[in-house]
Structure 1
Amino acid sequence: MRLMYKLWLDYRGRAFGDGPARLLDGVQEWGSLRKAALELGMSYNKAWRILRAAEQRLGFPLLDRSVGGSLGGGSHLTAEARDLARRYKGLAADADRALEAVFQKHFADWQDPVPNDPAAEEQAKS
């Protein structure tokens, strides 16, 4: 058995979580929202909608965008986005450690009713 949870920041609705954080990491790495979306296996339109919704809820832009053309376009994180991503990663890491400790406190001695069930383990991974 393992603990599963979802973490997000709520401000006027679901404002920021793992999805937007991964997109920002991708933009930081590849310099392009389109490339980040492709690497994460999602459409550019979906990625754009996710970040646009986050920007609207948070009240500030996450990306500085430049239009394509002969020199190509691209995107870069705003200072606010870099700060938000850094804080969110810290929060997520602290939450992981804290929740794992609480989980172990309550379930460390739990006996799995179906030990070594490869089918169940494979399904849990997906």
Structure 2
Amino acid sequence: MKLVYKIWLENRDGRRAFGEGPYRLLKGIELTGSLWGAAAGLGMAYSKARRIIQCCERTLGFSLILRKIGGTMGGGSEVTAEAAKLMKVYEKLRADTEDTIARVYRECFSESVPVQFYTVTPHKRGRKNLMEDLYVISAVPIAVALLSAIP
């Protein structure tokens, strides 16, 4: 059994601003030099990739990529300095979150605790109270264990 979770950043209005999908697209742009190449590498339609980037740019309020018009030399895309900073912060957030969740998971599911079926869905849209979505395992709320583990 494993714990499954998703993390992303939202703006003040609760609109999704940045997460794993846009991050992977930007990483792909760094590798291939184009949004088209990044989309193809992810098995995604170019139009969908473009919509994702444009939506993030509108929500964040800054450009994520610099677009180069095609022509005889071909076009391409490049990640902006702001996007590179955001990617670096997101990488650290993701790594620290994974480490903390892995440690708490091991504590909650040590051999002395019988494994029970559970559901953790703190990422559902429209939920104001995280505790509404957390179920109790062996009388220890997961949220309390997670929050107490954060330095």
Normalised by the length of structure 2, the TM-score is 0.72
| Greater fraction of residues in helix | 1
Give the letter aligned to residue 30 of structure 2: Q
Give the structure 2 partner of residue 28 of structure 1.
Answer: 30
Alignment of 1:1-126 (within 5 A): 1-11=1-11, 12=13, 13-109=15-111, 110=113
Secondary structure (helix, strand or coil) at the match of 2:78 reads strand
Q: Which fold has the larger relative contact order, with Cα–Cα distance below 8 Å and residues 6 or more apart in sequence?
A: 1
- Kept in 1, the 8 Å contact 2:28–2:38? The answer is yes
Amino acid in structure 2 at the alignment position of 1:9: L
Structure 1 stretches of 4+ moved >4 Å: 110-113
What is the CA RMSD across the aligned residues, in angstroms? 1.2
* Ranges in structure 2 where 5+ consecutive residues have no aligned partner: 117-151
**SS of equivalent residue, structure 1 residue 85:** helix
Post-superposition offset of 1:111? 5.3
Q: What is the deviation of 1:108?
A: 2.3
What secondary structure sits across from 1:16 in the alignment? strand
Question: How far apart are the structure 2 equivalents of 1:91 and 1:112?
Answer: 28
Deviation of 1:94 after TM superposition, in Å, equals: 0.5
SS in 2 for 1:64: strand
Matched with 2:128 is none
Q: Secondary structure at the match of 2:3?
A: coil
Q: Aligned AA for 2:8?
A: W
How does the TM-score come out when normalised to structure 1? 0.86
What CA deviation, in whole Å up to 9, does each residue of 1:32-78 have, x standing for no partner?
00000000000000000011100000000000001111000000000
Identity, % of aligned pairs? 46
Alpha-carbon distance between aligned partners in 2 of 1:30 and 1:112, rounded to the nearest angstrom: 44
**Residues matched between the structures, number:** 113
